[in-house]
Chain A
């Protein structure tokens, strides 16, 4: 079966190849790891590559980017601002959640949508699970590469948990109190 992801609110086949730098060997430094990402071989086809790989090889990858074959993923400790001038060359941007308990990716998504003007596909990758999808959708993700050991059909249910939300975010720029005329005390008491 081809690989599947959730896009919008549907399960679709996906041919993007997520490229990660090999796990750093014991005793290597962060600088070694960065170098590894920079010199990483980029396979043919649709690829999502580390930010460091893109920044180091973007000239060499220019024609493939122009052909819509290149996406870039951002780690929690990276800043998507590094992509500011390159976004129009990318076919998709992904944000990595190495652990779902690391919430930096939510702010990266918000920044990409709200400040960097990214309107293309924004994909959550890594430890992406049903119970976080609703929040991911709210901060601007529209594609979810859910963890392969879990049912993707079940995960889809995570996108429709709430039908109202209090605060503004990317999916809804207007907070509840500006969207609806909410009742004043007397009316509320009468209802209760």
Chain B
């Protein structure tokens, strides 16, 4: 993975001094809260319901064991012993004191990490495929280009006060695991007919109030032009993106207003005299960065069939869901589930973090990845070690065999923490996970994406969930709007709302009824999303609303907190 050199270290060190001074000026009241707000946001610090939340960047989701141990340290020393992995492959700590943030940043800098541009109206942490570098279907490793973009966008002087936040994702595999279609810029690394490496450039995807899938504005951009072309997109957006209404300020709205053709024309005109300038990548620079992402020192191993060696059903289930193919024979990628029933999705305790760091050292070349589905990946495990690994992680609550299943829920922190939320999301996720905590049933239902957001900002990606749940506020109480048929990846789709919203208590039954329709209607090979897209919402809607849904039973949502 990438390692800081003296320049990275210098920039981070100077950044911490700048930020330390800003905090001091805020505490002395030399800065008003309104002036401090964008400064702290660009350092990932939000004021939430109970305390500050600090979001730390995990560039393209890649972590060393040393960095993971630092998260455990931060959880213990500055927080309440746990952290929350996010849908943008970052980690958040929810109980932070403003005065301590400069010290946290110093601790982070000692392991080559920071919180720069994890929030605010600037270019955010670039995200990518959690299986980058090891995926069997990978064409080109996207991480070097993500790193190039990280450096270029860090403190870019011209793009620090954009109309709105700006998110870039990059994928280099056949299957899109980086959700590029719902990003402001979505890049796919491709080869042209001459075998040259470049990017397919998609712009203007996004979720939030107006979910839109991105539009391709260039089929092939030779890789050396990555930064100048991105600069052209950014300048068009910075100058012409709307600033009068924050809900219409993302680049997707500008692109829709201009139309793809006109937007593309403006970008190309803007790029004309940028093309070939000094910011153009040199072959030496690309090779230097690529050299940091060379394959590990893999052993020459025969393929090993762990399933044949150990017949236990739970292990078989785990192999089926949590173990993914690797491009090197004898190796596999393992997903550690942070979706155990009873635990908020994406949460990990300091003990689990230390333990995962240990596992990385012993099983996987000392590296881990954070997935945008809020799990952790050990990317390079020998197949013959899978059983031993499984036995270890079971005891630490990391072996739930539910990756890609109904209970592998994407969920934002919601109204329990976030001051933007209209409604709580974690209790909904927990109630649903409890209701369907039957592994055979989950495996029968199969591939499933249930995504829950506590408000229209869509941090829980509800628009692209096979079932999406959105918390809404109606006359001061919390309700949940349900959509079906959304999907991420190569066949991204925005879900359709089935009808009037539900109370928190009704939600597990709503999911149950949707599943009943699926089980009734599915063809043998159909996943839920296929059935939902084939039939449309009508049969689901009819059945869900046919009879009243009892609201008795376990209370979740506002009543539990009243």
Contacts and interface: CB of A to CB of B under 8 A. Distances in A.
Interface residues of B, number: 46
B279 A183 contact: no
A183 B5 contact: yes
B155 interface: yes
Interface stretch (B158-166, B211-219, B437-445, B505-513): B158-166
Contacts of B279: 167-168, 175
B288 interface: yes
B39 interface: yes
Contacts of A29: none
A136 to B, nearest CB: 8
B290 to A, nearest CB: 10
A59 interface: no
A23 interface: no
A106 B291 contact: no
Contacts of B157: 106, 134-136, 138-139, 165, 167, 169
A102 interface: yes
A103 B152 contact: no
A160 to B, nearest CB: 10
Contact of A166 (B11, B239, B288, B291): B11
Contact of A107 (B18, B238, B282, B294): B238
A154 B288 CA distance: 40
Interface stretch (A34-42, A82-90, A116-124, A184-192): A184-192
Contacts of A168: 277-279
B14 A104 contact: no
Given A131-B22, A188-B5, A161 B158 contact: no
Contacts of A177: 151, 281-282, 285, 288
A128 to B, nearest CB: 12
Contacts of A104: 238-239, 243
A9 interface: no
Nearest to B122: A103
29 contacts: A100-B38, A101-B38, A101-B121, A103-B238, A104-B238, A106-B157, A108-B239, A115-B273, A131-B35, A154-B30, A161-B14, A162-B11, A162-B15, A162-B18, A163-B10, A166-B151, A166-B154, A166-B155, A167-B152, A167-B156, A167-B227, A168-B278, A175-B227, A175-B278, A178-B282, A180-B7, A184-B291, A188-B3, A188-B292
Ranked 8 nearest A-B pairs via Cβ: A103-B161, A138-B157, A135-B157, A188-B3, A177-B285, A106-B158, A166-B151, A168-B279
Interface of B: 3-7, 10-11, 14-15, 17-18, 22, 30, 35, 38-39, 112, 121, 151-162, 227, 235, 238-239, 243, 273, 277-279, 281-282, 285, 288, 291-292, 294
